[in-house]
Amino acid sequence: MVVEIPALLSSAEVTEARAALLTADWQDGRATAGHRAQEVKRNLQLPLDHPLAQRLGDLILDRLGQTPLFVAATLPLRVLPPRFNRYEGGGTYGNHVDNAIFPVPGTPQRVRSDVSATLFLSEPEDYDGGELLIEDSFGTHAVKLPAGHLITYPGSSLHRVTPVTRGTRLAAFFWTQSLVASAEQRRTLFELDGAIQALAGDHPEHGAIDTLTNVYHNLLRQWSTT
């Protein structure tokens, strides 16, 4: 399930973040890639312990907790602190699948990458190329969103970033371990939740709302991994 979440960050927040990132010290993105991914990865990445990465990551995590659409789409149990990448001068990332498990830096915790996410921090007109291509059972999705917008998609998806041939593409990316490991079950719950919200908006006194809400929570209780 691919879900777009608009305006996670405000225009002012994006402008400030972009200005800081453009002057930061970056490292070769292959430093954090697995053996197979190193062969197809050509980008730059902010060091995981960089103070700017930690400050901007905390801002993003705070916004995620205040965004009902993100919560409904991912049913988050744990979110890996966001990381930041930079593509320019032909930078690209070929077809790959994200690692299944990521350690949380500085802790003994690990995060299962049920849901991948990319937060765009550059405006689409500021660079050529750089589309995120996501393959799933419904085909290939080409994603290039306005700055501040987030896309979430199954961590099991094969995906890639096309070469950036002009300008600079900045983005944050991270993974979420969901309360519900199955992508299909998350889709069912997401669609059910959306139907409940729509019904409640159009017919707030309808008796079926309570019944459907009960079904939703019983399914969540049954499918939750905790």
pLDDT tens-place string over residues 59-94: 999 999 999 999 999 999 999 999 999 999 999 999
pLDDT of 31 over the 90 cut: no
Q: What is the pTM of this model?
A: 0.94
Give the start-to-end residue ranges of the domains of the chain. 3-178, 183-223
Predicted local confidence at residue 219, as pLDDT: 98
How far apart CA 119 and CA 157 sit, in angstroms, is 17
Fold type of domain 183-223: DNA Excision Repair, Uvrb; Chain A (4.10.860)
CA proximity to 160, closest of 121, 115, 127, 118:
118
Instruction: For the domain made up of 3-178, give the CATH fold.
Output: Jelly Rolls (2.60.120)
**Residue 145: DSSP 8-state:** P
Question: H/E element holding 108?
Answer: none
The tens digit of pLDDT for each residue in 86-116 reads 999 999 999 999 999 999 988 999 999 999 9
Which residues, 6 or more positions from 183, have their beta carbon under 8 angstroms from its beta carbon? 1, 114, 154, 156
User: Residue 139 — very low, low, confident or very high, per pLDDT cuts 50/70/90?
Assistant: confident
**Same fold across 3-178 and 183-223:** no
38 pLDDT higher than 90:
no
